[in-house]
Amino acid sequence: MTAFARTAARTAVALAALWSTAAVAGPFPFFESPTLREAPPAVEEPTNSAELPASLRRQVVAYATSEAPGTIVIDTPHTYLYLVLGGGKAMRYGIGVGRDGFTWSGTQTITRKQEWPDWTPPPEMLQRQPYLPRFMAGGPGNPLGARAMYLGNTIYRIHGTNAPDTIGHQVSSGCIRMLNEDVTDLYGRVTVGTKVVVLPMGRHHEAAAVRSAPAVIVPPAEATPAPTAASWRPFWMN
C-alpha cells in the first residue's frame, strides 16, 4: 500500500469514529438547536388573600338599613364595608380603617374610579412623612393596590392594598383598605355617583347623626416623626 493510500485509510477511520461519537452525543455544537424562551408573565389581577378570620371574608349577610340598594356603608368601629343589596341583605367585606386621630365620618359619593391607580401622596401626608415617595406608578407594588374609588373632593379613597395583614385594623391615614380581590369585586358592582356613608368611631346605631354631615377628620396631636432603624416599617403601613 502506498503512503498516500495508508494516509487516506487512516483519515477515513478517524472520520468514521468522529461521526459515531457525534451520533451518540447529539448534534454538533455548531448546529445547536435554538433554545425556547418562556414569554414574560402577563400582569394578572393580583390576589393577596390573607388568613383572615371568617368574619372579615367577603360574604352576604343580613343587614337592616334604610339606605337604598347600591349604597356603601362603612362601619368604621367594626372594620366592615357593606354594599346594600336590598331585601335586608348586604355584601360585607373586611376593611382597614384610619388609625387613631385619622378616622372621619360623613356622607360622600364616588367621584372617580381607577384601575391600578398611581399614587401621589397628598401634601398633608408628605408633611407628616417627608420620606415618602412623591409619586409611584400603579402596579402590584403600589400601596393603593388593584383598584381605587375616590370619595368626593376629599383625599380619601376606597382602595386595595399590598399589605393584606392590615385588614381588620386601624392603620391608614383615613383611606379605606380592602384586599385586592375584594376591592376588584366591589369596583365591578358600583358606579361613579354611588353614595358612601362613613360611620363614626362609636356605636353602630349612631349612623343617623352623620348621614347628612360633611366628612370630618380629626388631626393628630403632633406630626408623625421620620422612621428610625428601630421603628421603621413600610410606608404603606402608615
Catalytic machinery residues: 159, 175
For residue 60, the cross-strand partners are 91
233: left (phi over 0), alpha (psi -120 to 50) or beta: beta
Q: Tell me the H-state helices in 26-168.
A: 123-128
Cα(197)–Cα(133) distance, rounded to whole angstroms?
31
Q: Are the beta carbons of 104 and 198 closer than 8 angstroms?
A: yes
Calpha distance 169→55 (Å, rounded)? 13
Read off φ and ψ for residue 72, nearest 5 degrees: -100, 130
DSSP one-letter code for 84: E
* Rounded to 5°, angle at Cα 238 from 116 and 45: 20
